[in-house]
């Protein structure tokens, strides 16, 4: 079961899904990274592991009708036996976990859509944690900060700071694995296409620009067992 907290559903059908599945067997994760885009990375999981998908893009209420219809249409095109549906954050407290393994994927651009802000981070993550705590096995959490979908570097660092501080307040989490994606991959999203059409480069966070307070928070988390 996977919970996806994201301003975007990322459920576009991936035409390389069969190849990605074969590469997974031989654990060629570098090649998989090249084939799994930022808007169609979920579909390849459906062929061998994903059985239930929950997309969350609002704290309460529903997303725009076109977004919800796009999510439903893209999942229907997979031709896979996956139960997929939308929930908002507030509805999580009424749900039970129906799978042994729970994966929680959080794209921090959630906190820039639907009038959400960095100040919403702790409460939203608390709700997700309360839900995942009902899992019979330890849940796997992943966070992503996607700079192109945020208004500026300062906003991105603010989201990351709130997230790291929340993680520090939860002793249940182990030391995180941190991956920095370089910008060499060809981004096929509409946002990337719009940037290229205007002759602009996609914005991204540079590791060398990381504020000292962010480095300190990461260092403290990495010292955990």
Q: What is the distance between the alpha carbons of residues 221 and 2, in angstroms, rounded to a whole number?
A: 24
The per-residue pLDDT for range 105-114, each reduced to its tens digit, is 999 999 998 8
187-194 long-range Cβ contacts below 8 angstroms, 24+ apart: 187/37, 187/38, 187/148, 188/37, 188/39, 189/37, 189/38, 189/39, 190/39, 191/148, 191/149, 192/148
pTM over 0.85: yes
* Per-domain residue ranges of the chain: 2-222
Give kind and range of the element (H or E) at residue 30. helix 29-35
The per-residue pLDDT for range 6-60, each reduced to its tens digit, is 999 999 999 999 999 889 889 888 888 788 888 899 999 888 789 999 999 999 9
Distance of CA 109 to the CA centre of its chain: 9
CATH of 2-222, one of 1.10.3470, 3.40.1440, 3.40.50, 3.20.20: 3.40.50
Among 150, 210, 158, which residue's Cα sits nearest to residue 180? 210
Q: What percent of the chain has pLDDT over 90?
A: 66
């Amino acid at each position: 079961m996977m919970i996806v907290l994201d301003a975007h559903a990322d459920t576009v059908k991936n035409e390389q899904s069969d190849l990605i599945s074969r590469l997974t067997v031989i654990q060629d994760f570098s090649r998989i990274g090249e084939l799994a885009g930022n808007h169609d990375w979920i579909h390849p999981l459906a062929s061998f592991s994903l059985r239930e998908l929950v997309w969350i893009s609002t704290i309460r209420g529903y997303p725009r009708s076109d977004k919800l219809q796009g999510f439903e249409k893209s999942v229907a095109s997979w031709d896979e036996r996956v139960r997929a549906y939308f929930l908002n954050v507030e509805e999580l407290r009424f749900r039970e976990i129906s799978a042994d393994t729970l994966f929680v994927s959080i794209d921090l651009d959630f906190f820039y859509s639907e009038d959400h802000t960095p100040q919403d981070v702790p409460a939203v993550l608390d709700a997700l944690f309360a839900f995942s705590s009902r899992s019979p096995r330890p849940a796997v959490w992943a966070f992503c900060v996607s700079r192109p979908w945020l208004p500026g570097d300062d906003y991105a660092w603010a989201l990351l700071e709130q997230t790291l501080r929340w993680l520090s307040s939860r002793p249940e989490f182990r030391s995180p694995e941190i991956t920095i994606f370089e910008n060499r991959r060809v981004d096929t999203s509409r946002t990337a296409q719009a940037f290229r059409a205007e002759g602009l480069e996609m914005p991204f966070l540079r590791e060398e620009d990381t504020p000292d307070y962010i480095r300190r928070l990461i260092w403290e988390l990495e010292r955990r067992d």
